[in-house]
Amino acid sequence: MKKWMVLCLILVSAMGMMVSSQAGNTQMKTTMARGKLVYDRYCLTCHQADGGGVPRMNPPITNTEYVLGNKQRLIGIVLNGLNIPLEINGEEYENPMASHAFLKDGQIADVLTYIRNSFGNKASAVTVAEVKSARAKNK
Amino acid sequence: MRFKLFLLSTIVFAGSAAAQLPGVSIRVPSGFAVANVAKDFGRVRHIAINTNGDVYMKLEKLNQGKGIYRLRDTNKDGVMDDTLAFGNYIGTGIALKHGYLYASSNSEVFRYKLDAQQDILHPDQPETIVTGLVDKRQHASKSIALDNAGNIYVNIGAPSNACQEQDRKQGSMGMNPCPILETAGGIWQFRADRLNQTYKEGVRYATGLRNCVGLDWNNEVNELFITVHGRDMLHQFYPEIYNQKRGAELPSETMYMVKKGDDCGWPYVHWDHFQNKKILNPEYGGDGKKTGAEKALSPLVGFPGHMAPNALLFYTGNQFPEKYRNGAFIAFHGSWNRAPENQEGFYVVFIPMKDGKPTGKWEVFADGFSGVEKVTNLSAVKHRPCGLAQGPDGSIYVSDDNKGYVWKINYNQ
């Protein structure tokens, strides 16, 4: 009897995990799709369709610590823009990036999750809570 | 011995000056031939050729710690076999005039005296001609040109897109009057032989110019000509006025002849080669139709948008066919602001001219530098034309600031 119940529990929890993982995948797909829309509208021209940037002008967002590393710094770049000499993978880029603080928290989370998981990048998602907290600290 | 070793290492690691086949095939009109004279020097911006055939390259990124490279063919067999590297600063401008080599950093202009053998007397001790120019990274290149009356002209690009209160921020309005124009956004004239000149000693020769990377003195009419990079982001910031296609084509890239005191209208207007009008920029209340800056000059030519005319050269040689005499070659660096449309440019164009005026439509003269059929991403581009110069035999040279190649174009019939 007990053995049967344990088996049942295992089965149920395994099914639950499968369902939640499927739900996670679907959620990630939706986030990525929303992130792409934001990217195409506000980021693509400078950073280009493949995230490779423009030599001397606009930095690449592929394979760089600025995108794959500290999320608070990355959110900060979107909120405040960037116009200081910065060496990215051995090169400097001269065009300023304007503040994109006008984007909603959800849009910033979506687009940063999108760039951290596109163009060959692979890194954890950026959550709305992380953007909200970064924006609060930024003020 | 040490010096020789250094030269050897320079040739091996800093780039090679052998006439090897380039990785891309450059297309030129029938009768012309292309030879590669330098490769892998890095960010080779403008170039200058001396009367003895020496090729000078100004680098925007130090290569082996040096910002200027001179290639020389000592035994005249057509192969550059000697390399001299000097100058510890990055920059774009380089020119030769009356026994001096002039070169610019992003905030200064220097000159080096040449001796009778065309060797530089003190490669590590240049004279500072101009100092203290605006360098705020954006549009910081200081292209130069010299006239025949002892003056040097320096482009001081505007560190801005359209003089918005907040640069490149959607919705931010343009400042009126634009304060940037006091120290940038124009061509400044200095004496070529006076040391340590600043803005105080210079003359704002022409204004209302966002960034003129190409400039050349036209000896036929004895005036300064320039090619200007137009503004970015018309579609991205104002999609209701400029759709994707329109924003890719506009504003025009332009060529002007400028005289002392001329104003070309930036940041208030941009040139529209479809309407042939100076159209008020949306940051100043424009709607795509309203005109503005009525007193500003109109350009001699309006090219498709964003192609980035980085070098201008008037052809004065005898080698090319007659139609090229006194005409203008322009090196287009190639666009990025047309995305998501395909990018354009990455070629050298020719405009037939007489008495300083175009006599026909511009045409692509040398193409294929990008190495790809359609440019959808800049990362795929192999070479980007950036500099032009004419050799003593009437051939022309094209430089590339993506990989540091230089090509020589001859007419063989």
CATH number of the domain within which B212 lies: 2.120.10.30
Per-residue pLDDT reduced to its tens digit, B234-253: 999 999 999 999 999 999 99
Residue A86's pLDDT is: 85
Residue B14's pLDDT is: 55
Please indicate, yes or no, if residue B304 is contained in any of the structural domains: yes
User: B 53-72 residues with CB below 8 A of A?
Assistant: 60-61
Strands annotated E in B50-92: 55-63, 66-72, 82-86
Contacts of A64 in chain B (CB under 8 A): none
Asked if residue B40 has pLDDT above 90, the reply is yes
Contacts of A81 in chain B (CB under 8 A): 169
Please indicate, yes or no, if residue A59 is contained in any of the structural domains: yes
Please indicate, yes or no, if residue B76 is contained in any of the structural domains: yes
Interface mutation target, options B62, B92, B169, chain A, most CBs of A under 10 Å: B169
How far is CA B59 from each of CA A53, B296, B348, B367, B380, rounded to the nearest angstrom? 21, 34, 20, 23, 22
Residue A102's pLDDT is: 96
Answer for the pair B262, B297: CB distance below 8 angstroms, yes or no.
yes
For the question of whether the overall pTM of this predicted structure is more than 0.90, the answer is: yes
Question: Does the beta carbon of B169 lie under 8 angstroms from any beta carbon of chain A?
Answer: yes
Please indicate, yes or no, if residue A13 is contained in any of the structural domains: no
Residue B2's pLDDT is: 38
The count of domains in chain A is 1
Nearest CA in chain A to B337: A45
Please indicate, yes or no, if residue A116 is contained in any of the structural domains: yes
The whole domain housing A105 covers 34-138
Return the ∠ at Cα B146 (arms to B91 and B405), rounded to 5°: 40
| Average pLDDT value for chain B | 94
- CB contact burial B155-192 (16+ within 10 A = b; e otherwise): bbbbbbbbbbeebbbeebebbeebebbebbbbbbbbbb
**Residue position matching structure tokens 């400097």:** A92
Residue B148's pLDDT is: 98
Please indicate, yes or no, if residue A124 is contained in any of the structural domains: yes
The count of domains in chain B is 1
Contacts of B168 in chain A (CB under 8 A): 95-98
CA A35 – CA A29 distance, rounded (Å):
10
Nearest CA in chain B to A103: B170
Residue B4's pLDDT is: 38
Question: Does the beta carbon of B166 lie under 8 angstroms from any beta carbon of chain A?
Answer: yes
Contacts of B166 in chain A (CB under 8 A): 98-99
Helix, strand, coil share of chain A (percent; to 5): 60, 5, 35
Please indicate, yes or no, if residue B277 is contained in any of the structural domains: no
Per-residue pLDDT reduced to its tens digit, B85-120: 999 999 999 999 999 999 999 999 999 999 999 999
Please indicate, yes or no, if residue A10 is contained in any of the structural domains: no
The DSSP bridge partners found for residue B32 are B411
How many CB atoms neighbour CB B326 within 10 A? 18
Residue A45's pLDDT is: 96
Nearest chain A CA: its distance from B140 CA (Å): 9
Strands B203-207 and B262-263: parallel
Residue B7's pLDDT is: 40
Contacts of A57 in chain B (CB under 8 A): 336
Please indicate, yes or no, if residue B259 is contained in any of the structural domains: yes
Answer for the pair B299, B254: CB distance below 8 angstroms, yes or no.
yes
CATH number of the domain within which A105 lies: 1.10.760.10
Please indicate, yes or no, if residue B394 is contained in any of the structural domains: yes
Query: How many A×B Cβ pairs under 8 Å?
Result: 64
The predicted model gives B250-276 an average pLDDT of: 98
CA B125 – CA B140 distance, rounded (Å):
24
**Residue position matching structure tokens 């080669």:** B273
Asked if residue B289 has pLDDT above 90, the reply is yes
Per-residue pLDDT reduced to its tens digit, B379-398: 999 999 999 999 999 999 99
Nearest chain A CA: its distance from B325 CA (Å): 34
Strands B363-366 and B353-354: unpaired
Please indicate, yes or no, if residue A29 is contained in any of the structural domains: no
In one-letter notation, the amino acid at residue B128 is T
Radius of gyration of chain B (CA): 21
Per-residue pLDDT reduced to its tens digit, A23-82: 778 899 999 999 999 999 999 999 999 999 999 999 999 999 999 999 999 999 999 999
CA B334 – CA B313 distance, rounded (Å):
17
Nearest chain B CA: its distance from A97 CA (Å): 7
Residue A9's pLDDT is: 67
Question: Does the beta carbon of A127 lie under 8 angstroms from any beta carbon of chain B?
Answer: no
User: B 81-120 residues with CB below 8 A of A?
Assistant: none
Higher-confidence position of A86 and B268:
B268
CA B349 – CA B370 distance, rounded (Å):
15
**Residue position matching structure tokens 């990124």:** B61
The whole domain housing B90 covers 2-159+183-271+292-411
The DSSP bridge partners found for residue B312 are B330
Please indicate, yes or no, if residue A130 is contained in any of the structural domains: yes
Please indicate, yes or no, if residue B166 is contained in any of the structural domains: no
